Structure 1
Amino acid sequence: MNFVEYPDRDLLMLALADRIASQLRRALDVQERVTLCVPGGTTPGPVFEVLSDLELDWGRVNLLLNDERWVDETSPRSNTALLRRHLLKGRAAAASLVPLYLPAPAPEDRMEEITQGVQAVLPLTVLLLGMGEDMHTASLFPGADRLEEALSEAAPPVMALRAMAAGEPRITLTAPVLRAAMHCHLLITGAQKRSALERAGTLPEIEAPVRTVLSHATIHWAP
């Protein structure tokens, strides 16, 4: 684990966006296409805003969420809608979005199609993750119904999980996909999340799922 501390959040967001773009550019020098995988939520919004206007061959970039709530884009809880507002615009509008939600009553109804779409853009070139104070990352929540399976080496690349803390059913990338990313970044802010991260290092993955990526992640933190 590489821990990088920034004096303030503005500097963190700018530096992280620049680093992600640099890693994508280097990969595009040797690959026809690359895959950028990002979280939902409000914390990474400033990173997305900076990234969206950076010069990059966005037409060769696949864009994938870490996870998605099983809601359509009209819902205020849709990560996909958030991504369209903050990242899929400007120069970055040329990127290709890989969906984790397809219209259906339950995620299991569309899992085959979603899985095929995800498999086609693996492995992840650059992975940006967030973390909750409960030490979840993506939708790998402590106490989720299929968490042990999602953390195992035999897990399929994408799974539907349900957890009390999650609200709606979730679609999430699984631990093997996250661990196989070429570059992995974890973005956290504030004293409470730093404390949670420190606790995660002392717990098994089933209690602190974020631990599944800590050995090879660069942690970006600001107060």
Structure 2
Amino acid sequence: MELIEYPDREMMMVDVAQRIAGDLNSALMSRGQATLAVPGGTTPGPVFDVLSAADLDWAGVSVLLTDERWVPEDSPRSNTRLLRERLLTGRAAAARLVPLYAQAETPEERLAELSAGVAAALPLSVCLLGMGADMHTASLFPGADRLEEALAPEAPPLLAMRAPGATEPRITLTAPVLKGAMHVHLLIAGAEKRAALERAAQAGPVAEAPIRCVLPDATVHYAE
């Protein structure tokens, strides 16, 4: 694990965006295409704002979420909505969105077709992750109903997930997909997340701190 500490959050967001742009450009130069996975929530929004203006061949970039709440895109809780508003705009509007939601009552009803779309975009060139104070990442929550399956080396790329405290069902990339990214960046801010990172960096079961599945190969970006 490489830890980079920044004097403030604004500097961190700009630097992370520039690093991701560089990683994507390298993938585009070597393979002609690239895949970027990003988290939802409000924390990465400033990264998206900077990244969307990057001078890249965005038409060769596939973008997907690391996880999604099973809600329609017009819901304020939709990560896809955030992605369209803050990343897939400006120059980055030319990128291809790989969906993690399709209209249905439950994620299981559309899991096969969504999984096929994700599988076609793998491996990830760049994966940007967040982490909760409970040490979850994506929708790999401690105590989630299919966590053990999602952490297994032979896990499918995409799983439906339900967890205590998660209001809606989720759909999430699994550990092998996250770990298989060429570049993994973990973005955290604040003392509570720093304390959680220090706990996760200690030896212990991955199921108790799912972020452990990617920490060894991650570049961690932190600002108070």
| TM class, shorter-length | over 0.9
Measure the CA separation in 2 of the matches of 1:57 and 1:108. 34
In the other structure, the counterpart of 2:170 is 170
How many corresponding residue pairs? 223
Q: What is the correspondence of 1:186-197 to structure 2 with a 5 Å cutoff? A: 186-197=186-197
Q: 2:60 is matched by which residue type in structure 1?
A: R
Structure-2 separation of matches of 1:47 and 1:138: 17
Q: Which segments of 5 or more consecutive residues in structure 2 lack a partner in the other structure?
A: none
Between the aligned partners of 1:10 and 1:32, the Cα distance in structure 2 is 31
Residue in structure 1 matched with residue 17 of structure 2 by the alignment: 17
Q: Contact 1:141–1:165 (CA<8 Å) still a contact in 2?
A: no
What letter is aligned with 1:182?
M
Task: For 1:183, give the aligned amino acid.
Answer: H
CA separation in 1, counterparts of 2:74 and 2:40?
15
* Residue type at the aligned position of 2:208: E
Question: 1:190 Cα shift?
Answer: 0.4
- Listed as ranges, the matches of 1:47-86 within 5 Å are 47-86=47-86
Deviation readout 1:103-139 (Å, 9 max, x if unpaired): 0010000011000000000000000000000100000
Q: Hey, what's the Cα distance between the residues in 1 that align with 2:27 and 2:115?
A: 24
- Matches of residues 122-141 of structure 1 in structure 2 within 5 Å? 122-141=122-141
What do residues 73-115 of structure 1 show as CA deviations (whole Å, max 9, x unaligned)? Answer: 1111000000011101000000000000000010000011000
Residue type at the aligned position of 2:213: T
DSSP 3-state at the match of 2:12: helix
| CA deviation after TM superposition for structure 1 residue 27, in Å | 1.1
Q: Which digits, 9 at most, give the CA deviation of each residue in 1:173-199, with x for residues without a partner?
A: 000001110000000000100000111
Q: What amino acid is aligned across from residue 97 of structure 1 in structure 2?
A: L
- Corresponding position: 1:90 with 2:90: yes
- What is the rounded CA distance, in whole Å, between the counterparts of 1:27 and 1:208 in structure 2? 30
1:212 aligns with 2:213: yes
Aligned-partner Cα distance in 2 for 1:17–1:54: 9
Q: How far apart, CA to CA, are the structure 1 residues paired with 2:136 and 2:222?
A: 17
TM-superposed CA distance for 1:164, in Å, is: 1.4
- Amino acid across the alignment from 2:165: A
Q: Which runs of 5+ in 1 are unaligned?
A: none
Q: Specify the alignment match of 1:149 in structure 2.
A: 149
- What is the deviation of 1:32? 2.0
What is the TM-score normalised by the length of structure 1?
A: 0.99
d(CA) in 1 for partners of 2:120 and 2:167?
29
Percent of aligned positions that are identical: 65
User: Structure 2 CA distance, aligned partners of 1:149 and 1:121?
Assistant: 21
Letter in 2 for 1:6: Y
Amino acid at match of 1:19: R
Instruction: Say which SS state the counterpart of residue 30 (structure 1) adopts.
Output: helix
Give the conservation status (yes or no) of the 8 Å contact 1:139–1:166: no
Matched, 1:117 2:124: no
Counterpart residue type for residue 213 of structure 1? V
Q: CA–CA distance in 2 between the matches of 1:103 and 1:32? A: 32
* AA matched with 1:209: P
1: CA distance, partners of 2:69 / 2:10: 28
Between stretches 197-206 and 72-81, larger displacement belongs to 197-206
Q: TM-score, normalised by structure 2?
A: 0.98
